[in-house]
Amino acid sequence: MTGFLPYGRQSVTDDDIEAVVAALRGDWLTTGPQVPAFEADLSAWAGGAGVAAVTSGTAALHVAYAAAGVGPGDEVIVPPMTFVATASSAVALGARVVFADVVAETFTLDPAAVAASITTRTKVVAAVDYAGHPADYDALRAALARSDALLLADAAHSIGATYRGRPVGSLADLTTFSFFPTKNLTTAEGGAVATGDPELLKRARRFRNIGLVRERDEQRWPDEGGWHQEVHSFGLNYRLPDVLCALGRSQLRRLGDFLARRAELVARYDEALAALPGVLIPGRRDWATPAWHLYPIRVLDGRRREVYDRMRAAGIGVQVNYIPAHWHPAFADLGYRRGSCPVAEAFYAQQLSLPLYPGLRDTDQDRVIDALAAAVRGVPIRSAA
């Protein structure tokens, strides 16, 4: 059998390495010229929104919720079909999370479920662009039209995607990105917050910088001296270093190519698996151009665990994304119960992510397809030559 095929993998070239080496040889390792340059490059992909680069996708969520003013007594509406950080980072600020179900087909946040969940305490509605497919942002806006809540897009999967011709990053009041190695571009660890609201951007940048106020016209004691800086409200050190921003800038130059290759691989999967009994391929809406971070199939008839185990044993790194967030013991201990989001929970019971990354060769993908077909049909999986 040939080597193990992971479900996701970074693509790093000599140009990326040279960009990092150049930054290492420069004067800045932490916050230097690469940080604002990376933020400007990201802004071009996010419809011109202002950007604050941070240390991870989880940090981006924490910063965005803090910029929105989330705190004790507030509620944040979150879909369960997401990595737990979408919810836990709101809890870290003292908020109560309200889980609202997802829609069948794309498994993104259900606008009707949001409308039924909004209260006077709702501070933020956090949509998740699951697998890289944008949520229905116009419908979500309509669902919270009578609320003062802000709309947040957790776009950890979807940088470069579009919704009705508009780029992700320009669709919500706040958008968060992740640049983990399996994502559509990487800074090793890293993330960003994007917003078109200058006040929200200022709050985000302050929170990621320990809350420091350096603008003299906003300081309470501006005449202390040129060294003076003040903390008016507490933040954290979530600054993304210059050296990692250099890597991100290099990666962004290839984001269009990354997205195109992912789309090619998705089309090949679609064609090969559309008629495979016992399997459903991912749904999508005609108003979206997904970024395809994941290729999430559904394995029917209660056979997901069997297929997962057989493919893993054959060296195919299938994955499950995700355990419904409200099932985690940390949320169960707070009183959240299974059965509250039936669409998401039924999807979880069937979901399986197939390998998908720009460096996946056609021959590797054929190996995945053959192994899946064998696993579903209950016949031996042939070893690759």
Are 66 and 207 a contacting pair, CB within 8 Å? Answer: yes
Are 144 and 151 a contacting pair, CB within 8 Å? Answer: yes
| C-alpha to C-alpha distances, 384 to 177, 265, 312, 376, 379, nearest whole angstrom | 36, 20, 14, 18, 15
Q: Which of 123, 133, 183, 203 is the catalytic position? A: 183
| C-alpha to C-alpha distances, 28 to 37, 52, 56, nearest whole angstrom | 13, 18, 20
Angle, in degrees to the nearest 10, between helices 14-24 and 242-252? 150
How far does Cα 300 stand from its chain's mean position? 26
DSSP state string for 272-289: HHTT-TTEEPPP--TTEE
Are 367 and 316 a contacting pair, CB within 8 Å? Answer: yes
For residue 342, give both structure tokens. 């039936």
The yes-or-no answer on residue 183 being catalytic is yes
Are 197 and 170 a contacting pair, CB within 8 Å? Answer: no
Q: Looking up tokens 């940080």, which residue turns up?
A: 35
Dist. CA 136–CA 46, nearest whole Å: 17
Are 265 and 356 a contacting pair, CB within 8 Å? Answer: yes
Backbone CA torsion sign across 244, 245, 246, 247: positive
Alpha carbon dihedral 326, 331, 335, 340, in 10-degree steps, equals 0
Are 128 and 80 a contacting pair, CB within 8 Å? Answer: no
Active-site residue set: 183
